[in-house]
Amino acid sequence: MGMIIFLIGFMGSGKSTLGKRLARRIDFEFRDMDHCIEQELKMTIPEIFSTKGEAYFRSLETSFINTLDPEKNQVIATGGGAPCFGQNMYLMNEKGVTVYLRLSPASLAGRLLKARNVRPLITTIPPEELIKYIERKLPEREVFYNKARCIIKGENVKSAHVVSLVFGKEE
Ligand code: S3P
């Protein structure tokens, strides 16, 4: 029997960094949803948004989730918006264990300041307005994120902590 662990959360919450560490720790395959979509289309996320549009990108996220094999052990770092469109959150909860990495708007803003240009939704937001954007957007998204099986404080999170949450044991 296999298991999929989905890491979900806002842009900049550290899903990919934690995902890699977690996968290494429990010997699961690691896959980054955005990276897989980029490879499939041979385009970057900003290129997909600008040439094909956001709605098309969202359909790719849903297809990606649909094609995952729940019999394979894997950790998936999802895109920040993925849980919030269509039936994606429901699908992920059906297929595996969802873990929401929860961070404060201030922590997220600090992390996102330097990484705005690879993220089309925030590229044009002036640095001083980023926190306001997050404070407005995060509660909308938490309606979906809060449906996760596990919720974990994302600042300084350790992969061992996720292991104990998901598998119910301390390492
Ligand atoms: C998005 C988050 C991004 C990426 C795209 C849209 C979002 O992923 O999927 O830019 O809607 O929040 P990260 O969460 O890895 O930044």
- Per-residue pLDDT tens, the chain, 171 aa: give them: 899 999 999 999 999 999 999 999 999 999 999 999 999 999 999 999 999 999 999 999 999 999 999 999 999 999 999 999 999 999 999 999 999 999 999 999 999 998 888 999 999 999 999 999 999 999 999 999 999 999 999 999 999 999 999 998 655
- Measure the CA–CA gap between 122 and 87, rounded to whole angstroms: 24
Q: Using a 6 Å cutoff on CB, does residue 36 contact ligand 1? A: no
Residue of 125, 93, 100, 139 whose CA lies nearest to 18? 100
Q: Using a 6 Å cutoff on CB, does residue 14 contact ligand 1? A: no
Q: Using a 6 Å cutoff on CB, does residue 80 contact ligand 1? A: yes
Residue to mutate (ligand 1; options 39, 121, 133, 144; most atoms within 8 A of CB): 121
The predicted pLDDT at position 85 comes to 98
Residue of 129, 159, 110 whose CA lies nearest to 11? 110
Relative to the CA of 10, which ligand 1 atom is closest?
14
CA–centroid distance, 28 to ligand 1, in Å, is 23
Q: Using a 6 Å cutoff on CB, does residue 79 contact ligand 1? A: yes
Burial class (CB in 10 A: 0-12, 13-18, 19+), 149: middle
Q: Using a 6 Å cutoff on CB, does residue 8 contact ligand 1? A: no
The predicted pLDDT at position 116 comes to 87
The predicted pLDDT at position 169 comes to 64
Supply 24's token pair.
């290494």
CA–centroid distance, 73 to ligand 1, in Å, is 24
Q: Using a 6 Å cutoff on CB, does residue 162 contact ligand 1? A: no
The predicted pLDDT at position 52 comes to 96
Q: Using a 6 Å cutoff on CB, does residue 137 contact ligand 1? A: no
